[in-house]
């Protein structure tokens, strides 16, 4: 049996973060933590060594998910699936600098999230 893919959730809305955690578990992934700010995301990634990160763009305390994703990728080589309500061209270009697996616009469906995670994990849909 293969090990479940470990996923770090970075989302500053507590209810959304908890929902993501439940969805991940239901889809067969292993949530390895929830962070609400960029510094917390980097610390938690260093501590838990996730295989993948689910990343919001605008985080707690005015911190930035793109910066966190870039730092996590630089330190650990781990890429992110971005979930964002901000899909303007400037934000999307900033997200591209983090070389994400995918970008999903909020609101997204469970099936869109499942498909994005499966593609990022190299699993069939």
Domain boundaries, the chain: 6-119
Q: Give the global pTM.
A: 0.94
For the stretch 99-110, pLDDT in tens is: 999 999 999 999
Q: Which residues contact 114 (CB under 8 A, 6 or more apart)?
A: 27, 125
User: In which band, very low, low, confident or very high, does the pLDDT at 47 lie, cut at 50, 70 and 90?
Assistant: very high
For the stretch 79-97, pLDDT in tens is: 999 999 988 999 999 999 9
Task: Tell me what the pLDDT averaged over the chain comes to.
Answer: 94
**Per-residue pLDDT at 79:** 95
Could you tell me which CATH number the domain at 6-119 has? Answer: 3.40.50.2300
Q: Is the pLDDT of residue 2 over 90?
A: no
Distance of alpha carbon 85 from alpha carbon 93, whole angstroms: 14
């Amino acid at each position: 049996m293969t090990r479940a893919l470990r996923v770090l959730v970075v989302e500053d809305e507590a209810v959304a973060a908890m929902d993501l955690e439940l969805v991940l578990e239901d889809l067969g992934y292993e949530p390895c933590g929830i962070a609400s700010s960029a510094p917390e995301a980097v610390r938690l990634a260093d501590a838990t060594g996730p295989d993948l990160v689910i990343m919001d763009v605008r985080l707690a305390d005015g911190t930035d998910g793109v910066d966190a994703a870039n730092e996590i990728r630089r330190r650990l080589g781990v890429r992110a699936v971005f979930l964002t309500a901000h899909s303007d061209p400037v934000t999307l270009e900033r997200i591209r600098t983090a070389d994400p697996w995918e970008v999903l616009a909020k609101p997204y469906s469970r099936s869109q999230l499942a498909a994005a995670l499966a593609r990022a994990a190299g699993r069939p849909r």
